[in-house]
Amino acid sequence: MHPAVSRIAENVAKHHLLLAPLLFTVLGAVASVNSPVQHSLLVTAASWAILWLPLVFRVGLYSNSGGRKKSTSWLAGAFLALAHICDRAACDKDGIRATKWLLPVFAVLISENELLARHLALPTHARSDSTDSSEKPSSRRSSDLLLTLTIAASAALGIYVTSTTSALGISSAIFAASGLVMLEIAARGARDDSEGARGLMSADGSFSRRGSVSGSRNAHELAALRDIAAAMTVICGMATFIIEPSIAPGAATWEPLYREFDRDWKTVHDFRTVRQVFVMVIVNAALNLFMFLVLSRQGAVPVSLWALFSCICAQLKFATTFSGIWFTIIYGISALLYLYGASSSSTFIDIRASIRVRRILFGVTAFSISVLLVRHASGAQYYTFSPKTPSTFKIQPSATPLESIPLDLARGHPAAQLINAAETEFQHVLQRQSKTLDQAVREYRRRNGIAPPPHFDKWFEFAQRRNVVMIDEFDMINQMLLPFWALKPETIRTRIKNAIGHEDSAMIAVAIRNGEVVSIGNGDEWQQQATTGMMKDFVAHLPDMDLGFNVHDEPRVVVPNDLLSSMIAKAQDQVLPRAAKKPSPRNNFSPRPKDLNDGKRFDEVSTTKFNRFAHQQTWTHSRLSCPVSSQAQTFEDFAADNLTSYAAGPLNHVYNTTAFSDICNSPSFSSSFGFFERPNAFSIIHELTPVFSQSKISSFQDILYPSPWYWFGKVGYDKSHDTTWENKTNNLYWRGSTTGGFSRNGGWRRQHRQHVVQRLNAPDKAQILVAPETSPEAVYTVQDIDRRALHHLVDVKFSHVGQCDPGDCDAQKEFFDVVERVDGQDAWYHKHLLDMDGNAFSGRFYSFLKSRSLTYKMSVFREWHADWLRPWVHYIPLSLRGDEHLDLVRWFSGDKSEVADVAGRGKEKGADKSGNGETLGERKAREIAERSTEWHDKVLRNADFETWFFRLLLEYGRVVDDDREEIGYPGP
C-alpha cells in the first residue's frame, strides 16, 4: 500500500469517533439544504433501498436476527418513516427545521426515563454485564448543558412557524427520537447477543470458540440495519405514491449536461429536478449509513445532537446573521461538553466537566437571549421621522370649481408641506402594522368585513419569515377583486378558460393542479420562468385553477360603467354580507371543480371576445368605466380637468397621486398621453375577465400583480457605478426613447414623453416659487422666469426615436435634440432622476429608487406597489401638465441663482456638483434619496414580490371557489 494511503487509513482508524459524526453532520446539512420538498419521501425511500439491496446479499433476507429483534428494528424504521411523513405533510422545510431543537430533548427523555419508555411500550433488552459503561445512557449528564444547548438551538433556528407546522414538527421530533432510541436498542441488542455468544465450555474444561466475535457482531448489526432499511423503504415508498406528485416522464433522460440548454426551459427544469433527486438519493444513502455507524457506537442522544447541528448549519446557509453564528457556536460548545464531558474514560479536556465553565456558558446564553429579545422588541425595522413641525398640509375647498386647492405659502414651500404631511402619515402606517397573526386577522376583518382567505396563516408565516414590513397594506387586492364577487365562480373560470384557450390570446396560460404548476404555455421564455419562479415557494398552498397573464404592455379589460357599478353594488350589498355571516369558515379550498381538466393541456377555443385596436385612438373605449358624472364623460369634446382632486397651490403640485392617475379626472389625457393616441397593442374585452397584468390604466379592470420584469432582474443596479451624493451632478437627468404610443400624422405631439421633454427644454417662460432671503419668515410668491436661465438644472433628452412612421420619426429627430445612447448605469452620476411611463409602466423605477439619487416620477399607469411606495416619502410625484417641474428641481437642488438673473435671460450656467448645502430643499432631497435606497431593500425584494403575489392568488383562489362564502381562515 502506498505510504500516503496507509497514513490516511491510520488517521481515519485513529479518529473514527470524530470523523463519522463530522461526515454525518456535513451530509445532513447538505441534504437539508438541497433535498426537494415535493419529492422528499421518494428520496428517503430510494436512499434506504440502496442500503437494503447490498445488505440482503451480505447477510441474507431473514437470517441473523431473532423475531424480537426484527420487530424492534421494524418498529424503529416505522417511527423514523412517520417522522419523514410528518416532515413531508408540512411541506415546509424551514418550519420543520425550526422545530428540530426539540429532538435531543425527546431523545434524552425517551432513552433515560423508564416510566416514559414503558408508557410508549418501548422494548428493552437485557444488557451484558461486560458492556462498557461508556456505552450505557448516562443519567449523570448535566441538565444545565442540555438546557443551554436547547436554548441556543431554538435561537439559532428561530423563525415564525404556524401552529399546524409546529404540531407536525413536534410530532416528527417525537417519532424521530423514538425511532433513534429503538434503533439503538436493536443495534446494541445485536452486539450484546454476539458478545454473549463467545463460545462453549466443554466437560473437560476446554473452551471452543464459535467464531469471530467482531464478525458475529457486525453480522447482527448489519441484519438490524437491513430490517430498518426495509421498513423505511416500504413505508416511505407507499407514502410517496399516496402523497407526492410524479416527476414528468420526459424528464427522465440522461443526455449529457451540455445538451440540456438546447431544449426549452421546461424540459431543462424537469431534467434538473430528476438530477437533484438522483444526487440527493446518493447523499441520503451515505447519510443513513453514517447515522447508523454513529448511533451504534455512540447512541441515540449523540445522533440527535449531531443531527440538530446539521440543521443549524443548514439554516445558516439561508440566513447568515451574526446572532445565528453566535448561537451556533454556543450550541457547538455545549453539545461537545454534553457528549464528551460525561464520559468517565474521556480525557479530552478536563475543563469541560467544570461547573464553572457550565455556569459561564449558561450565563452567556441567557445574556445573548436577552439581547436578542430586546432587539426584537425595539422594532428596529421601522423608520422614525422627527419633523420639526407637525403636519401643516390641509385640504381646503377651491374657490373656483375644478381648480387646484389653495395652499398657504406662508407655511413654507408646497413641497415642504407635502413632505411633512406624507412623512407623518407614513409613520402612522408603519406603527399600526400587525405584529401577530391574531392582529392581522382582526385588521383584515376590520378593513374587509369578512374572514381572510384559506391558508392565511400560511401566508402570514411566509411573510414573517421573509421580514415583510407591510403586513396589512393589501387594500388594492380586495378593491381589484371586488366586482368578481358578483359573478358566479363557474362564470369566472369559464371566461378565463375561453380567453387562454384561443391561439391568439396574447396571454401566458398557467394550470395549477395539486399544488404544482403542471402546464404553462405562450409568452416569452423568460416570462414563463419568472412567473412560475415567483410561485414556486407557495404554489403548494394554492387551489386548482387556471390563470391568464397578459403578455402585452397595455391592459386588456374595461367594463362599461353601468355594468361595473351594478356588479360592485351586488358584491357589497349581497354576496359579501352573506360571507361575513359565517362565524367559523372552513380553512381549506374546495376540491377541483368538474369544469377544470387535469391541466395537462388547455382546451382550445376557436373564437375570442377580445377586440383589437392597435395603432388607433383609444380614449373612447378607455373611459367606458368612468362614472357618468366624471369629467371624462362630459358631452363636450373639450372639458376641464378636475385639478381639485389632485393638485395643490398655484403651480399644481400633486398631493394625491391616486386621483392624478385616475383618467376620469383628466380628459386632457386624451390628447397628451400616448396610450390614448395610438398604443402599440390594444386588445380589449368588455366582459369582466380575470386577466393578470403588470400595470394598467385606472379605468381598466385587469388584476395587477408584481411584474416578472422586476423579479427576473431585467433592469439591474450596479452599485459599483454609483457614487456619493456629494459627487453627483446637481441636475435632473433622463435618457430614453419615444415609446408610449405609435406616432402617425404628427401624433407624437399628443404623447406624454414628448410633452415632458419638450416642456422641460422649451425656450419659453416658466413659473417658480421664490422667497426673499432677508425675511425671517419668508413667504413664497410666484415668479416668472426664462427657462433657459435654469438650463443647467435639466439634462432630459431622447436617445432614440422609434414607434413611428418614417415621416413622424424624421420630424421628431428634427424637433428634439436626440443624443447618443448611453449606459443605463450612467444615471447614477446625477442627483435628480426623472422616471416616466412608456408603453406601460417604467421598468427603471425600482433601480432608480435603489440608487443614491432622488427619483421624480410621472406615472399614469398603476402598479401593484401603490400601498407600499409613498409619494413625497420615497419619491417625488410629477404631473403631466408640468407646471411644477422646474420649481421642484430648483427647490430640491438648492440653486443659488439670483432672482434678478433668473427673471431675465441671464447668463446660462453649466451643470455642477452643488446641491450639498443646508437649505431645506437640499436636505430633504438627500433624506428622501437615502430613504428610498433603504426602503427598496425592505419592500422591493423578490421576497416581497412573492409575498404580495401569494396574498393575491389566495384571494383570487377564494373568489373562484364554488364554496367561497363558506371558506376562509377563522383565526388562530
Range of the domain at 182: 3-127+144-196+212-245+255-378
* Contact (Cβ atoms closer than 8 angstroms) between residue 100 and residue 152: no
pLDDT band at 850 (very low <50, low <70, confident <90, very high): very high
Tell whether 545 and 511 lie within a shared domain.
yes
Q: Give the number of other Cβ atoms within 10 Å of residue 70's Cβ.
A: 18
The CA distance from 111 to 109, in Å, is 6
Determine the Cα–Cα distance for residues 952 and 706; give it in Å rounded to an integer: 10
Same domain, 551 and 599: yes
Same domain flag for 682 and 741: no
Average pLDDT on 373-377 reads 70
Cα angle for residues 68, 70, 71 (degrees, 5° grid)? 65
Decide: 671 and 830 in contact? Cβ < 8 Å.
no
Q: Which of 660-664, 718-722, 845-849 has the lowest mean pLDDT?
A: 718-722
Q: How far apart are CA 614 and CA 323, in angstroms?
A: 57
Cα–Cα dist 670/418, whole Å? 28
The pLDDT tens digits of the residues spanning 28-61 come to 889 888 888 888 889 999 999 998 888 888 777 7
Cα–Cα distance for residue pair 528/486, rounded to 1 Å:
31
- Asked if residue 691 lies in contact with residue 548, where contact means CB atoms within 8 angstroms, the answer is yes
Note the pLDDT tens digit of each residue in 390-445. Answer: 455 677 777 788 999 999 898 899 999 999 999 999 999 999 999 999 999 999 99
Coil, strand or helix: which one is 271? Answer: helix
Residues 686 and 761 placed together within one structural domain of the fold: no
Question: Could you tell me which of 625, 702, 646 has the C-alpha nearest to residue 880?
Answer: 646
- Assess whether 683 and 806 both reside in one domain: no
User: What pairs with residue 519 in β-bridges?
Assistant: 511
CA distance 780 to 774: 13
Q: Is the pLDDT of residue 194 over 80?
A: no
pLDDT of residue 121: 46
Mean pLDDT of 588-610: 90
pLDDT tens digits for range 85-136: 998 888 888 888 888 989 998 988 888 766 545 544 444 443 334 344 444 4
| Residue 971 located in a structural domain | no
pLDDT at residue 895 in the model: 87
Name the phi and psi angles at 438, rounded to 5: -60, -40
- Look up the pTM and report it: 0.85
Identify which of 558, 509, 838, 552 has the alpha carbon closest to the alpha carbon of residue 693: 552
pLDDT one-digit tens code per residue, 915-928: 888 899 999 999 99
In a domain, 159, yes or no: yes
Higher pLDDT, 654 or 274: 654
**Confidence bin at 19 (pLDDT 50/70/90):** confident
Which residue type is seen at 613? F
Question: What is the share, in percent, of the chain residues with pLDDT greater than 90?
Answer: 49
Residue 352 has pLDDT above 60, yes or no: no
Cα separation of 875 and 797, whole Å?
Answer: 21
Measured between alpha carbons, how far is 830 from 212 in angstroms, rounded to an integer?
A: 82
CB 698, CB 630: distance < 8 Å: no
Burial 706-717 (b: 16+ CB within 10 A, else e): bbbbbbbeeeeb
Residue 160's pLDDT is what? 80
pLDDT digits (tens, 9 = 90+) for 578-596: 999 988 899 999 999 999 9
Taking a C-beta distance cutoff of 8 angstroms, is the pair 73, 231 a contact?
yes
CA–CA separation, 168 vs 157, rounded Å?
16
For the chain, give the mean pLDDT: 84
Cβ-based burial of 94 (10 A; exposed 0-12, middle 13-18, buried ≥19): buried
Output Rg (C-alpha) for the chain, integer angstroms. 35
Q: How confident is the model at residue 270 (pLDDT cuts 50, 70, 90)?
A: low
Same domain, 754 and 696: no
Within-domain flag for 878: yes
Residue 137 belongs to a domain: no
Q: For residue 185, tell me if it sits in a domain.
A: yes
Confidence check: pLDDT of 492 > 90: yes
Instruction: Calculate mean pLDDT across residues 494-521.
Output: 91
Taking a C-beta distance cutoff of 8 angstroms, is the pair 838, 740 a contact? Answer: yes
Query: Do residues 559 and 654 both lie within one domain?
Result: yes
Grid cell, residue 19, equals 470523523
| 696, 752: one domain | no
255 pLDDT more than 50: no
Q: How many folded domains does the chain comprise?
A: 3
Look at the block and give the residue holding cell 422609434.
802
- When mean pLDDT is compared over 133-137, 574-578, 899-903, 908-912, the highest value belongs to 574-578
Query: Cell 349581497 belongs to which residue?
Result: 574
The answer on 700 and 737 residing in a single domain is no
Rounded CA-CA distance 559/658 in Å is 20
Residue 330, H or E segment = helix 322-340
Q: Does 421 map to a domain?
A: no
Residue 494: is its pLDDT beyond 90?
Answer: yes
| 639, 601 contact by CB (below 8 A) | no
Per residue in 286-319, pLDDT tens? 998 888 888 888 888 889 999 999 999 888 877 7
Helix (H) or strand (E) holding 331, with range, is: helix 322-340
Q: How far apart are the first and last CA of the chain?
A: 66
Please state the rounded mean pLDDT for residues 319-332: 83
C-alpha 851/C-alpha 815 separation (Å) is: 32
Domain assignment of residue 423, yes or no: no
- Rounded to an integer, the average pLDDT of 464-485 is 95
Does residue 466 fall inside a structural domain? no
- Extended strands (E) in 649-701: 653-654, 683-684, 691-693
In this structure, what C-alpha cell is assigned to residue 831? 442627483
Question: Quick check: 213 pLDDT over 50?
Answer: no
40: cell is 422528499
Which three-class secondary structure state does DSSP give residue 218? Answer: helix
Write out the H or E segment, with its range, that includes residue 767.
strand 765-770
- Cβ–Cβ < 8 Å for 33, 317: yes
Residue 777 confidence (pLDDT):
67
Residues 705, 732 within the same domain: no
How much is the average pLDDT of 507-514? 93
* pLDDT, average across residues 491-502: 94
- Specify burial of residue 610 (Cβ count, 10 A radius: 0-12, 13-18, 19+): buried
Amino acid found at 896:
K
Give me the pLDDT at residue 243, please: 82
Cα–Cα distance measured from residue 871 to residue 137, given in angstroms and rounded to the nearest whole number: 65
Strands (E) in 185-307, as ranges, are 199-201, 207-209
pLDDT of residue 383: 53
DSSP annotation of 792 reads: G
**Choice among 310-319, 673-682, 808-817 with the minimum mean pLDDT:** 310-319
Assess whether 573 and 612 both reside in one domain: yes
Q: Where residue 837 sits, what CATH number does that domain have?
A: 3.40.50
Residues 485 and 550 in one domain: yes
| Lowest mean pLDDT across 373-382, 608-617, 858-867 | 373-382
Question: In this structure, which amino acid lies at residue 908?
Answer: E
Q: What is the pLDDT of residue 376?
A: 66
Per-residue DSSP letters for 228-242? HHHHHHHHHHHHHHH
Which residues fall within 8 angstroms of residue 801, CB to CB, at 6 or more apart?
737, 738, 809, 812, 813, 816, 818
Q: What pLDDT does 209 receive?
A: 46
C-alpha cell at 568: 360592485
**C-alpha cell recorded at residue 729:** 451632478
